[in-house]
Amino acid sequence: MFPEYRDLITQLKRNDLHFTKLFDRHNEIDQKIQNIEANVEHATDAEVETLKKEKLHLKDQLYSILSKASSV
């Protein structure tokens, strides 16, 4: 996710607890979705849709933080 911001992500994960929590939650949801799609975990279509919406919302928040931090 966001390879162009790899160094900035590393820096923010060390120095910004809020960013780290968002980043970790995004990865947790991503893994859960992958597990569901691989039939490792089970979920309804509605649950998957909710997870995907939350993941997208987190990604938007992360991008916003990255954009602001890179323009400073």
Can you give the residue ranges of every domain in the chain? 17-38+54-72
Q: What is the pLDDT of residues 57-68, one digit of tens each?
A: 999 999 999 999
Burial class of 54 by CB neighbour count within 10 A (0 to 12, 13 to 18, 19+): middle
Q: pLDDT (tens digit, 9 = 90+) per residue, 6-61?
A: 999 999 999 999 999 999 999 999 999 999 999 999 999 999 999 999 999 999 99
Closest residue by Cα to residue 69 from 4, 5, 3, 2: 5
Q: At what angle do helices 45-70 and 17-37 cross, to 10 degrees?
A: 150
pTM (predicted TM-score): 0.92
